[in-house]
Amino acid sequence: MHKALVTGANRGIGKAIAAALVREGIEVLVGARHLAAGEEAAAEIGAHAVHLDLTDPEACDRALDGVTVLVNNAGVLWDGNVFDDMDRFETTMDVSLHGPYSLIRAALPAMKEARYGRVVNVSSGWGSFTEGLGGGGAYGVGKAAMNALTVIADRDTPDFIKINAMCPGWVRTRMGGAAATRTPEEAADTAVWLATLPADGPSGGFFRDRKPVSW
């Protein structure tokens, strides 16, 4: 049985991804900044919870013990100008780039030992240069950086480790709002597909609805 970690999985898209992976027969860790919220979500879907602060590299190392499936789902979004608040900029980069980098790096030993690894970076069309780098504050910068990390991480890891990014679309979550057009379960589909790819599946790509999209 493979072991998966989904970050930001106590609600929304992350919780839907975690629940779907449980149904696939995978042991799932619900990564959450607030452990009590993670434990509540994990109990509901049949997973386990782990406290995870993406600004703490040591916490990332502890969370990745034996993990061969990693879904970097956690995200932050603030309104305003990218230069309004340095702390928010740094937090955005921690969640979108530095944290995922630390988690991928910490997961590599187990993935190499198993000769199997799947990494899914939950990005956004707002991180695409083709689609205009949208979102408030540093959101687009963070997701564009995540996309770049996806390409380079795929280049610098063995072929049996598949690393991809995906855009979930506009989703009815606390971040997306009530007017959004997709449910978390619909948004989770592509992430779950990428997290369970066969040996001949794609790697180093960017996907929406299981189809390639432009960087």
Closest C-alpha among 109, 143, 110 to residue 126:
143
Measure the CA–CA gap between 56 and 54, rounded to whole angstroms.
5
Number of other residues whose CB lies within 10 A of the CB of residue 83: 9
Under 8 Å CB-to-CB from 173, ≥6 apart: which residues?
A: 11, 12, 13, 180, 184
Q: Which two tokens stand for residue 169?
A: 């679309």
Task: Compute the chain's Rg from CA coordinates.
Answer: 16
Q: Nearest to residue 11, comparing CAs of 39, 145, 130?
A: 39
For 6, list phi and psi in degrees, rounded to 5.
Answer: -115, 120
Using an 8 Å Cβ cutoff, are 69 and 25 in contact? Answer: no
Q: How far is CA 12 from the centre of its chain?
A: 12
Residues annotated as part of the active site: 139
Cα–Cα distance for residue pair 9/184, rounded to 1 Å: 11
Rounded-to-integer distance, Cα 12 and Cα 65, Å? 25
